[in-house]
Amino acid sequence: MTGYDLEEDPSIGRVVLTEHQIRERVAELGARITADYRGRAPVLVAVLKGAAVFVSDLARAIELPVEIDFMAVSSYGSSTRTSGVVRLLKDLDSDITGRHVLVVEDIVDSGLTLNYLRRNLRARNPASLEVCALLVREGADPTELDIRYTGHRIPSDFVIGYGLDVGERYRNLPFIAVYAGDRASGRNPPDPAANA
Ligand code: IMP
Ligand code: MG
């Protein structure tokens, strides 16, 4: 049950990652994080709203006493995208000073959101600061962006499902698919940056 009649929704395009593929990759990431953070109690900082689904599965794949906290940010549309304007909408509840922080993101596209978060969180003097992104856009350089854990690299298509939305819809799809657009209105996929 997906809550969508897939046959009837032409906006749900080609499946990029099946539910099974996501589950396997999340388990692998969880195992690596468990090994890397052995003996420590990391704080998973998930970026709302997109990473909410991913962090709930990832946290259960980590066999350590993790804490989960949330931040919400918004980045502005194409005109401001390159200017680096990211706004903090919701801050963490907890103090991360001296803690091992793992930022959990749904997708890293331009890296703008991630760079903002990294600067913002580093200023609070965590013991360590790493990033786990389920999806990283091809073209984005994971080395330059310093993403420790990457789930999958995906092409430039706008994608939906497993937390990722278009206008708040499709977050509950258990798989990730290309957004095929609203054919009825002929609209194109939205600018990802306006949709963090
Ligand atoms: P960045 O700041 O350009 O890296 O954008 C990251 C944010 O844009 C993500 O956290 C998502 O919320 C959003 N985003 C980017 N690409 C997509 C997509 O294909 N589908 C849904 N949201 C996206
Ligand atoms: Mg997001």
In a domain? residue 195: no
Residue nearest to atom 14 of ligand 1 (CA): 192
Q: Is 106 in the pocket of ligand 1 (CB under 6 A)?
A: yes
The DSSP element (H or E) to which 27 belongs, if any, is: helix 19-36
| Confidence tier at 191 by pLDDT (50, 70, 90) | low
Please state the domain count of the chain: 1
Q: What is the pLDDT of residues 123-175, one digit of tens each?
A: 999 999 999 999 999 987 777 889 999 999 999 999 999 999 999 999 999 99
For residue 139, what pLDDT is reported?
84
Percent of the chain with pLDDT over 70: 84
Give the CATH number, domain containing residue 95. Answer: 3.40.50.2020
> Per DSSP, what are the bridge partners of residue 88?
73
Distance 48 CA to ligand 2 centre (A): 6
In a domain? residue 161: no
Q: Is 150 helix (H, G, I), strand (E, B) or coil?
A: strand
Domain of 59 in residue numbering reads as 20-155
In a domain? residue 86: yes
Query: What whole-number distance in Å separates Cα of residue 33 and Cα of residue 159?
Result: 26
pTM of the predicted model as reported, rounded to 2 decimal places = 0.90
> Per DSSP, what are the bridge partners of residue 187?
182
Prior bond of 49 cis (ω within 30°): yes
The DSSP element (H or E) to which 107 belongs, if any, is: strand 100-108
Least confident of 50-64, 81-95, 160-174: 81-95
In a domain? residue 14: no
